Amino acid sequence: MQEDISFLRKHRYHKNANAVFRMAEEDFEAIEFDSKEWIYRLEKYINRHRNEQVPRLQELKRYYLSDNNIKYRQPKTDEYAADNRIASDFARYITIFEQGYMLGQPVQYKNNDDTLQVKIDEFNKQNNEAYHNVLIKTDLSTYGRAYELETVDLDSQNSAFVKLVRLDPQQTFVVYDDTTDSNSLFGVYYYVIDYGDGQRKDFVNVYTSDMLYMYVNDNQNEQGLHLVDTDYYAFDGVPINEFANNEDRTGAYEPVLDSIDAYDLSQSELANFQQDSMDAILMITGNPYTGTAPNDLDEEGNIVPNSRLAVSLAFKRARIMIMDDNPNPNGSAPDAKYLIKQYDAAGSETYKQRLVNDILRFTFTPDTLDANFSGVQSGESMKYKLMASDNRRVMQQRLFEKGLMRRLRLAVNIWRIKGNDAVAYDAINETNIVFTANIPKSDSEIVALASQLYGTVSDETLFEILKTVTGIDPEVELERIKEENGGGTPTPRRPENTDSKKLDTLKTVNLGDKI
């Protein structure tokens, strides 16, 4: 890839780089999945995704890996000048902040149906759901979209369970109908296995609401892409689940790529200045060139040895410049000095800091190096500093919750078939998904809050508040208190002094004994 720095003056992506693929529902119903007509249309979808959308996804991934466009800038015309390419890591910084702020505290699922709650907990534990969500959120911040596949697999006891698999957005897309509900009609996951020596196989999996169609193109015959197998499943919905970072499906740092490029350029040119200053040219005046050849170039256009041009280039490689002022009627006036550009250090730093401020402000990312941000602060003052980030997080949580609920509903369709008919699986829609912002909190403030709420909320709620301090689940804490009370009802004793500013008062409470 060879790109000029002119990326600062043109559109980055195709106009359909973030378009949603759609199909009329009646056209979908008429599909014969082994027909040439359908395979031709499928290839058209894949080619559109690969040619119009994947270049954007690839560039966003490059920035996440600090492989910024500054790396692909055209080399300088002066081969002796410093030409550093320094890429900043803003993309990863912004992504990790967003991911940690929203999911640093794992998502919690609450359902009043105890049997269904057990199923949800088992499902999450089998899939290491907290880490899987982090992968999805990282894709959301990077690409603006993320995909997961739900399949049925066997555990170590040979029992079937619903498995979650992250799919690469560069190889996945979903086609929706043309209604206002935007129901998913089918999902496509395609990939290539390259065996070397020109041998490769293209694989395409198409997932509808009840069937998986597997296509292969081994590129060794004229048959091309063709259907090789099918599989039936009971998800009663397209098992590829798409998440969106926002309504426009843009990444967290995508709007500030120009500012990142400008910052990279500024840093690189500063490094070039420093290097050129260390290798400054020594200019000597008052001496003649020593080249004696009459012509600089021979008939083939090559530089003639000992010509003025050859000597001049040799001096340049040696970082010396000869200025000939002979013959001089007043005699030669020899002088020597280094050629060094003037550098406005204050102006350059101000410019770079403005770029940093713009990058962080327009991505709603706090500057943790800011002296006004760090330090000992109350929870309320921290909330004001994180207000913009919090507003963005709440909006993203709502879209993320939409994907999580669809994930659970798909899983329920399998549980209903393989589980107990007496379980109220329809209660899955009553699941309460709880997000907890991962912000620094003072343990003393949390304990004081629990003391203030004693007697007005349930014991289980108190222990949920105190979990960030104790690290103990509320159910476990209640069971421990029950054991301490001889198997009776777990009732914490009321503290004599409930002043929230005096943490030692909680020592008289069973709650405090667990902290």
Identify the pLDDT of residue 451.
83
Q: Which of 215, 172, 193 is nearest to 53 (CA)?
A: 172
Question: Which two structure tokens, joined as six digits, stand for 31?
Answer: 């599909």
In DSSP terms, 333 is beta-bridged to none
Identify the pLDDT of residue 172.
97
Confidence (pTM): 0.77
Tell me how far apart the alpha carbons of residues 179 and 45 are, in angstroms, rounded to a whole number: 19
Identify the pLDDT of residue 338.
63
| Cβ proximity of 116 and 432 under 8 Å | no
pLDDT band of residue 21 (cuts 50, 70, 90) is very high
Identify the pLDDT of residue 514.
37
Whole-number percent of the chain with pLDDT over 90 = 46
pLDDT band of residue 249 (cuts 50, 70, 90) is very high
pLDDT band of residue 404 (cuts 50, 70, 90) is very high
| Cβ proximity of 168 and 135 under 8 Å | no
Identify the pLDDT of residue 275.
75
271, with CB counted inside 10 A (0-12, 13-18, 19+), is: middle
pLDDT band of residue 475 (cuts 50, 70, 90) is confident
Please give the average per-residue pLDDT across 128-150, as a whole number: 97
Residue 281 has pLDDT above 80, yes or no: no
Question: Which two structure tokens, joined as six digits, stand for 226?
Answer: 């063709």
Question: Which two structure tokens, joined as six digits, stand for 513?
Answer: 């004994």
Pairing of strands 320-323, 432-436: unpaired
Identify the pLDDT of residue 379.
55
Helix or strand or coil: residue 215? Answer: strand
Q: What is the 3-state secondary structure (H, E, C) of 254-271?
A: HHHHHHHHHHHHHHHHHH
Question: Which two structure tokens, joined as six digits, stand for 292?
Answer: 């004696």
What are the pLDDT digits (tens) for 140-186?
999 999 999 999 987 666 677 899 999 999 999 999 999 998 999 99
Tell me how far apart the alpha carbons of residues 259 and 238 are, in angstroms, rounded to a whole number: 39
Whole-number percent of the chain with pLDDT over 70 = 77
Identify the pLDDT of residue 506.
38
Identify the pLDDT of residue 378.
55
Residue 113 has pLDDT above 70, yes or no: yes
Q: Which of 89, 137, 395 is nearest to 248 (CA)?
A: 395
Identify the pLDDT of residue 371.
60
Q: Specify the DSSP class assigned to residue 31.
A: -
**pLDDT mean across residues, the chain:** 82
